[in-house]
Amino acid sequence: MEHKRRVHYSGKYPKKFEEKYKEHNPEKYADTVAHVIEKGNTPAGMHISIMVKEILDFLQIKSGMRGLDATLGYGGHTSKMLEQLQGEGHLTALDVDPIESAKTTERLRKAGYGEDILTVRLINFANIDEVAALDGKFDFVLADLGVSSMQIDNPERGFSYKIDGPLDLRLDPLHGDSAATRLHQITQEEFVGMLIENSDEPYAEEIAEKVFFRMKSGDPMDTTKALREAIEAALARLPKDEKEETIKKSCARTFQALRIDVNSEFEVLYSFLEKLPDVLNPGGRVAVLTFHSGEDRLVKKSFKQFYKDGVYSDVADDVIRPSYEECRANPRAHSTKMRWAVKA
């Protein structure tokens, strides 16, 4: 008789992402999810929508309107906007992530939102002109430019320096080059420029020098851990009292810079903003949530220019930020800025 080894006990706290969190089943483990949120954390595999009240207060959605959620994500904002429609009108939602989009669509369908009121399209929001050609112009538009927590928390996607995984960073993992591939396509000088332009990284030259030295020495730099360790080595000589916090911030900025490059985020946002007035009905309202200065500068510049040209009748004089209470309950809301505009 063949001897079979006993299945090894993985312990109370399994290591694998897929097994680790009860929050992946929010309907089954509602108490666990509530407890995690109460502690000020984001449940793994979930995304807590930011500035919902401020968005709804501005958009003034009424029954019968037609709207666009340019960035579906986990569907939190989408579901709140659908509630405002009260069963009349229509909402189109866009996403480029085929993995998370399918999950979100299934949740929204189960919640009772059928094709009659909700259309989900796997289209980049840079192509909103194509969407308007299919679905007509919109009375309200929302674009939340943040990366969803489901993507950040999944190590297979490579968005976080905190957990080891492939250095991918693509919002659409089925198309384009990964961050690891991009690093092997560019020069050291181009990487310095990327770090400065995309994330204002103060140690861009030191980090780029160390990353490229390691790659030339045979390190493929194809995991989040490898990149993090290169950044740590680049900043190893910093004073002890500031090193830990500086490394943490430089890791976040480096991953941000690569993510922006891999997904052509600035080019996509520029295209979206240029086409935006043409997809809005007269009096149509648009709200945009940004999460770093590069995005906010593009939105501010576009809104101000179109206002000056008379295309928008009103724009936000200054950014709107989440409340202290929201930031305390959801730390990922801290860097959020909201700007809005109204079509003439």
Q: What is the CATH number of domain 52-149+266-343?
A: 3.40.50.150
Alpha-carbon gap, residue 72 to 67, rounded angstroms: 12
Sheet hosting strand 312-315, strand order edge to edge: 118-121, 90-94, 66-69, 138-144, 280-290, 337-343, 312-315
Query: In this structure, are residues 299 and 287 in contact, taking their beta carbons and an 8 Å threshold?
Result: no
The whole-angstrom distance between residue 133's C-alpha and the CA centroid of its chain comes to 26
* pLDDT recorded at residue 5: 47
pLDDT in tens, 36-61: 555 545 555 556 789 999 999 999 99
CA nearest neighbour of 178 among 218, 240, 131, 227: 227
Listed by start position, the domains of the chain span 52-149+266-343, 173-262
CA distance 145 to 69: 11
Query: What pLDDT is recorded for position 41?
Result: 53
- pLDDT at position 235, please? 96
- CATH C-level class of 173-262: mainly alpha
Q: With a cut of 70, list the residues of the chain below it in pLDDT.
A: 1-47, 147-156, 158-159
Strand partners, 338: 289, 320
Cα gap 323→329, rounded to integer Å: 10
- pLDDT given for residue 35 in this prediction: 57
pLDDT in the model for residue 278 = 97
How high is the pLDDT of residue 11? 38
